[in-house]
Amino acid sequence: MRLLIADHYSDMCRKAASIIAAQITLKPKSVLGLATGSTPIGIYEQLATWCQHEDLDFSQITTVNLDEYYGLAPDNAQSYHYFMAEHLFSKVNLPKGRQFLPDGMNQDTDRECERYQNLIELLGGIDIQLLGLGHNGHIGFNEPSDAFVKDVHLVDLAEKTIEANKRFFDKAEDVPRKAYTMGIGTIFQAEKILLVVSGAEKAGILKQVMYGPISPRVPGSILQLHADVTVVADQDAAGELTSKRN
Ligand code: GLP
């Protein structure tokens, strides 16, 4: 795992956005795997700014998101469809027909999982997958459990995740209890992985992810086995790592 330590959140965003911009420039038809959560917001802002200044072109890009809440429609302000439209898709020249997320409204769960998994395979896989890190070590919505799940699946969200994500909802009861997520195998098919982590409250879990035992109890720890992972962490998140500053 390659580690880049940023001075602060906006520096982290700029570094991560530069890596994604390099991917888009070098391969204009890239498939980008995208993430939600508060951490990537500044990255999307930076990419949108470059696109608006015509320094970056999304016209041939395809995007696939990691996950979506089960039962939330795209026009629900808490859905990840809505998040992506608000923070990125409405601001860049990415064609609507090439923005993909799991369909949270599809109640035929086996079919939806199969559809989304097949779609990613049909696209030829992901060139670069952006990941945030949950407070419990989850990536996408792969929650701590007894085993890693390979493909796209419907997951029961962990209490810690519901607790962490309730800040986006009016009340905790409104947070969906289930979500569709790419599996660990789906994420691992990506050629490159870019993990972004910000804030002192993630310092302990980032240390476990990078240097702890590989275990489905800390889902992000599996990233130690991927051949091309770049971690961009701000100083607060990197506070418990011993490596020298880059
Ligand atoms: C959600 C998303 C994850 C994300 C995590 C961390 O649970 N499904 O993909 O990494 O939140 O979010 P934040 O960046 O807000 O801490």
Question: What tens digit of pLDDT does each residue of 4-33 get?
Answer: 999 999 999 999 999 999 999 999 999 999
What is the domain partition of the chain in residue ranges?
A: 2-197+207-234
For residue 168, what pLDDT is reported?
A: 86
Query: What pLDDT was estimated at residue 62?
Result: 98
What pLDDT is stored for residue 39 in this prediction?
97
Radius of gyration of the chain (CA): 17
246 is an active site residue? no
Nearest CA to ligand 1 atom 9: 140
Per-residue pLDDT, 243: 53
Kindly report the average pLDDT of the chain as a whole number: 96
Helices vs strands, H then E, count in the chain:
7, 10
Would you state the pLDDT for residue 171?
84
pLDDT over 70 (residue 81): yes
CA–CA gap between residue 43 and residue 39 (Å, rounded) = 8
Residue 130, CA distances (Å) to 73, 76, 94, 176, 232 in order: 23, 23, 17, 23, 11
User: Which one, of 201, 177, 189, lies nearest residue 39 by Cα?
Assistant: 201
pLDDT in tens, 35-53: 999 999 999 999 999 999 9
Set 65, 81, 136, 234: catalytic member: 136
For 230, the 3-state DSSP assignment is strand
Tokens of 191: 């050629």
Q: Strand order of the sheet with strand 62-65?
A: 2-6, 229-234, 192-197, 128-131, 31-34, 62-65, 99-100
Q: How far is the centre of ligand 1, averaged over its atoms, from the C-alpha of 165 (Å)?
A: 8
pLDDT tier, 164 (very low <50, low <70, confident <90, very high otherwise): confident
Predicted TM-score of the model (pTM): 0.95
Quick one: CATH architecture of 2-197+207-234? 3-Layer(aba) Sandwich (3.40)
- Out of 128-137, 162-171, 208-217, least confident range: 162-171
Structure tokens at 227: 């051949």
Q: Could you tell me the distance, in angstroms and rounded to a whole number, from the CA of residue 44 to the centre of ligand 1?
A: 15
pLDDT at 246 (0 to 100): 45
Give the count of beta carbons closer than 10 Å to the beta carbon of residue 49.
Answer: 14
pLDDT-derived band at 237, boundaries 50, 70, 90: very high
**Residue found by looking up tokens 């959560």 in the block:** 37
- Give tens-digit pLDDT for 193-236: 999 999 999 999 999 999 999 999 999 999 999 999 999 999 99
Interior angle at CA 165, CA 223 and CA 63, nearest 5: 55
Alpha carbon distance 85, 81 (integer Å): 6
What is the mean pLDDT of the segment spanning 131-137?
Answer: 96
Say how far apart CA 185 and CA 110 lie, in whole Å. 17
> Pairing between strand 153-156 and 178-181?
antiparallel
The CA–CA distances, whole Å, from 220 to 69, 73, 132, 170, 181 equal 20, 28, 10, 29, 14
Q: What pLDDT is stored for residue 173 in this prediction?
A: 87
Q: Is the predicted pLDDT of residue 99 greater than 90, yes or no? A: yes
Tokens 């971690």 appear where? 231
Give me the phi and psi of 168, to 5 degrees please.
Answer: -85, -10
Q: Which of 39, 78, 156, 161 has most ligand 1 atoms within 8 Å of its beta carbon, as the pocket-test mutant?
A: 39
Residues near ligand 1 (Cβ within 6 A) = 35-39, 66-67, 132-134, 140-141, 161, 165
